[in-house]
Amino acid sequence: MVAAVMSATESRGLRRRNWLTNVNAWLLLLPAIVLLATFTHYPILATLYHSFFSLGRSGPAAFVGLDNYSYMLDDDVFWQVLRNNVIFALATVPTSIALALLMAVWVDKKIAGRSFLRLAFFTPTVLPMIAVANIWLFFYTPGYGLLDQFLKMIGLSGHNWLGDPATVMTALSVMVVWKEAGFFMIFYLAALQTIPPDLKEAAAVEGAGRWYFFRRITLPLLMPTTLFVSINALINSFKLVDQLVIMTKGGPNNASSLLLYYIYEVAFTFWDTTYAATLTVTLITILAAVALTKFIYLDRRIHYQ
Amino acid sequence: MSEIVVNAVSKSWGGVGGVDRVSFKAEAGTLLVLLGPSGCGKSTTLRLIAGLEEIESGHITIGGRDVTHLSPAERRISMVFQSYALFPHLSVAENIIFGLKVRRVGRAERDERLKKVADIVGLSQLLDRKPSQLSGGQRQRVALGRAIIAEAAVCLMDEPLSNLDAKLRHEMRTEIRSLQQRLGMTMVYVTHDQTEAMTMADRVILMRDGQIEQNGAPHELYNQPASDFAARFIGTPPMNIISWRDDTSLGVRPEHITLDDHDGVSATIKAVEYLGADSIIICDVKGETVAVRQSGYCSVTTGTKVNLGWQNRHVHLFEKNSGKRREGGLPQ
């Protein structure tokens, strides 16, 4: 009897302590939860919700099911900006990664002016995209822009780089690579410095040349960084559209428009908010798929130290 | 044969760890230990032999071939690093055959040699593991396997056992020594642990501040230390060195001192360390500490006055200023 009472009090005490621990934990999580829910989770769900409704300019919004999505699939501009975005990603992601790796390997060596070089490579990252776009707008200006002046010097005539559908994507890609590569270089540089120098010495004793060592040891050990950087670069290629606002407004004839910029146009120029919601859900799905590929598939195939 | 000759080799960094005109010779098929405290230049010497550092002046030959300006690979050596330097993303097997792959040895021969080496170092069951899945001792064996699969006549070891626990260190010590003898390798082995040096070496080179303090067989270093530094560095506990005359210090090993009842130097017992097989009695002699080794358990209480005695043939004399050994026995 006494024992039963004792154990009852004990378990009540235990439950109370557990409850307090839980409350404590939730209170600690509260600020993050509020911010995430208000600015991330709720907007995603609201967007998803709106993508199933009509615009309701004349009267209340009606549930239209997947009508908005079938409209999207018939929208030529949507397919064009999606294609543009894929081309843009293919052009910028591998290039900026390769360039970042090259720069990192270079400034990891003991060379004169190493700190200066590192700073120089990193500077474009510090600049806001708006500023970068304005600088490069001057480079590409037909006639008196830096590029044309240079071409004139070697006897070539001027060209409207941003006004020609054939060159506008290349021109924008070059600029984005210039801006992004320095940022990714920092990650590679950090990763290179975690590789113990005696691995290189051990390989040298075994007769491995510099290229062999780089291919067989350095590159595999940099794979976690490469993965991280490539996912970020890929997401950035869908996310970063400031340059379009400054330089081309998606033109000429949507030749340089990207998915996010098209969403912006649809939402705030045409005020078709439900169609913008539909496009946004599509964009989020693409980005989520990219992230899931990393977490589920690629992480297992890479050596983490 | 693959003897190593180091001739007046210098390397400096303007700080600690450099070496200054070091010369010695490692006979083919023997184990030479470079011994000394940290910063004495022993690792630098090894790295100079390996070709991982550039020589400022002097010459190194391996097997009669001048290798002074050759790359590490051209010197035909193998090396075990203190950190093991295993490639973390490669399996045990891949780590061991790394050098064979570099040198494009055919697959059949590679597999055969891997099997043989894995048997020797006892890793046959673990060939598919990654280094991170191995214990410290197993990693050490992988590094060893990678060194011996090259079948190089010269093997260099940079403090290979310093990351292991005491029991494992003792085991590996014996194993490395027997491996060296079985394969007939010329081995240069760097350590700061005098026990390792004494138990493994054919020849010990004791270094200090970038120079050779003494070069000799283990028993020579123990019985005829060339300086008070060598006398203090070798032996546990080290040799007792007390001032004797104005210009001379007197050294005597703890096991050569006896506790007498009436004759000898008077001392006070400060502490007793019981080690099992013997006890170390720490005594105070006019402000200087003297250790005495007694076999078995010793039940003396601290504070007791005792007399210490030794025989003249066990006495070593050192010049006080230079620390150099003074030959000739004790003047009566």
Interface probe for B, chosen from A194, A206, A212 (most Cβ of B below 10 Å), is A206
Matching residue, tokens 């990193």: A122
Nearest CA in chain A to B154: A205
Q: Which residues, 6+ apart, have CB-to-CB distance to A247 below 8 Å?
A: A133, A136, A137, A140, A162, A172, A256
Whole-number Cα distances in Å, A150 to A140, A142, A157, A166, A173: 11, 12, 10, 20, 20
pLDDT attached to residue A24: 93
Interface probe for B, chosen from A194, A198, A201, A205 (most Cβ of B below 10 Å), is A205
Looking at the fold, whether B202 and B53 belong to one and the same domain comes out as yes
Contact (CB, 8 A) for A126 and A116: no
Judged by a CB distance cut-off of 8 A, whether residue B102 touches chain A is yes
Looking at the fold, whether B215 and B234 belong to one and the same domain comes out as no
Q: Which helix (H) or strand (E) holds B215?
A: strand B211-216
Backbone angles phi, psi at B88, to 5 degrees: -65, -25
The 10s digit of each residue's pLDDT in A97-111 is: 999 999 999 888 888
Contact (CB, 8 A) for A101 and A213: no
Contact (CB, 8 A) for B59 and B75: no
What is the residue range of B300's domain? 229-326
> Are the beta carbons of B132 and A305 separated by less than 8 Å?
yes
Structure tokens at A33: 């939860």
Convert A74-101 to b/e letters by CB count within 10 Å (16 or more is b).
Answer: ebeebeebbebbeebbebbbebbbebbb
Looking at the fold, whether B309 and B192 belong to one and the same domain comes out as no
Give the CATH number for residue B118. 3.40.50.300
Residue at a domain's end among B223, B240, B261:
B223
Interface probe for A, chosen from B54, B62, B83, B89 (most Cβ of A below 10 Å), is B89
Nearest CA in chain A to B47: A201
Establish if B331 belongs to a structural domain: no
Question: Going edge to edge, which strands form the sheet with B31-35?
Answer: B77-80, B154-158, B186-191, B31-35, B203-208, B211-216
Looking at the fold, whether B236 and B191 belong to one and the same domain comes out as no
Nearest CB to A206 within list B89, B98, B132 = B98
Looking at the fold, whether B181 and B320 belong to one and the same domain comes out as no
The pLDDT > 90 percentage for chain A reads: 32
Average pLDDT score over residue span A115-120: 86
Establish if B50 belongs to a structural domain: yes
How far apart (Å, rounded) are the C-alpha atoms in residues B319 and B326? 6
Q: What is the mean pLDDT of chain B?
A: 90
Residues of A whose CB is below 8 A from B97 = none
Nearest CA in chain B to A219: B89
How far apart (Å, rounded) are the C-alpha atoms in residues B204 and A259? 73
How far apart (Å, rounded) are the C-alpha atoms in residues A34 and A40? 10
Looking at the fold, whether B260 and B179 belong to one and the same domain comes out as no
The 10s digit of each residue's pLDDT in A143-201 is: 788 888 888 888 777 778 888 888 888 888 998 999 889 899 999 999 999 999 999 99
Strand pairing partners for B243? B249
Matching residue, tokens 């002074």: B68
Looking at the fold, whether B23 and B147 belong to one and the same domain comes out as yes
Whole-number Cα distances in Å, B196 to A291, B145, B165: 53, 20, 14
Contact (CB, 8 A) for A72 and A278: yes
Burial zone of A193 (CB within 10 Å; 0-12 exposed, 13-18 middle, 19+ buried): exposed
Nearest CA in chain B to A305: B88
Q: Report the alpha-carbon angle B310-B313-B319, nearest 5.
A: 95
CA nearest to B213, candidates B230, B196, B190: B230
Looking at the fold, whether B254 and B191 belong to one and the same domain comes out as no
Q: How many residues does chain A have?
A: 305
> Are the beta carbons of B85 and A303 separated by less than 8 Å?
no
Establish if B35 belongs to a structural domain: yes
pLDDT attached to residue B17: 72
Structural domain tally of chain B?
2
Window B:183-242, CB contacts with A under 8 Å: none
Q: Which residues, 6+ apart, have CB-to-CB distance to A159 below 8 Å?
A: A142, A148, A151, A167
> Are the beta carbons of A221 and B88 separated by less than 8 Å?
yes
The Cα of B74 is separated from the nearest Cα of chain A by a number of Å equal to 8
Establish if B332 belongs to a structural domain: no
Q: Which residues, 6+ apart, have CB-to-CB distance to B232 below 8 Å?
A: B238, B239, B241
B313: left (phi over 0), alpha (psi -120 to 50) or beta: alpha
CA nearest to A217, candidates A198, A191, A199: A199
Nearest CB to A207 within list B103, B130, B146 = B103
Interface probe for A, chosen from B47, B102, B105 (most Cβ of A below 10 Å), is B102
The alpha carbon of residue A267 and the mean position of all alpha carbons in its chain are separated, in whole angstroms, by 22
Average pLDDT score over residue span B44-53: 93
The Cα of B130 is separated from the nearest Cα of chain A by a number of Å equal to 10
Question: Across A109-185, where does the E strand assignment appear?
Answer: none
How far apart (Å, rounded) are the C-alpha atoms in residues A109 and A115? 11
Looking at the fold, whether B219 and B279 belong to one and the same domain comes out as no
CA nearest to A135, candidates A123, A146, A144: A146
Where do the domains of chain A lie, and which CATH numbers do they carry?
Answer: 75-301 (1.10.3720.10)
> Are the beta carbons of A207 and B130 separated by less than 8 Å?
no
Give the CATH number for residue B309. 2.40.50.140
Average pLDDT score over residue span B60-65: 92
pLDDT attached to residue A204: 92
ipTM entry: 0.84
**Amino acid letter at A133?**
A
The Cα of B150 is separated from the nearest Cα of chain A by a number of Å equal to 8
Window A:197-256, CB contacts with B under 8 Å: 198-199, 201-208, 212, 217, 220-221
pLDDT attached to residue A6: 62
Q: What is the mean pLDDT of chain A?
A: 86
Establish if B316 belongs to a structural domain: yes
Q: Which helix (H) or strand (E) holds A124?
A: helix A114-126
Residues of B whose CB is below 8 A from A221 = 88-89
Judged by a CB distance cut-off of 8 A, whether residue A286 touches chain B is no
How far apart (Å, rounded) are the C-alpha atoms in residues B267 and B287? 10
CA nearest to B153, candidates B24, B8, B27, B66: B27
The alpha carbon of residue B315 and the mean position of all alpha carbons in its chain are separated, in whole angstroms, by 25
Judged by a CB distance cut-off of 8 A, whether residue B30 touches chain A is no
Establish if B15 belongs to a structural domain: yes
The 10s digit of each residue's pLDDT in A188-245 is: 999 999 999 999 999 999 988 889 999 999 999 999 899 889 888 988 888 888 888 8
Establish if B77 belongs to a structural domain: yes
pLDDT attached to residue A305: 61
Residue at a domain's end among B207, B223, B239:
B223
Residue at a domain's end among B179, B196, B223:
B223
The pLDDT > 90 percentage for chain B reads: 62
Looking at the fold, whether B170 and B63 belong to one and the same domain comes out as yes
pLDDT tops 60 at residue B332 = no
Q: Report the alpha-carbon angle A39-A41-A44, nearest 5.
A: 95
> Are the beta carbons of B73 and A202 separated by less than 8 Å?
no
Banded model confidence at residue A62, pLDDT cuts 50, 70, 90:
confident
Establish if B84 belongs to a structural domain: yes
Matching residue, tokens 């606002």: A245
> Are the beta carbons of A205 and B79 separated by less than 8 Å?
yes
Looking at the fold, whether B206 and B269 belong to one and the same domain comes out as no
Looking at the fold, whether B167 and B20 belong to one and the same domain comes out as yes
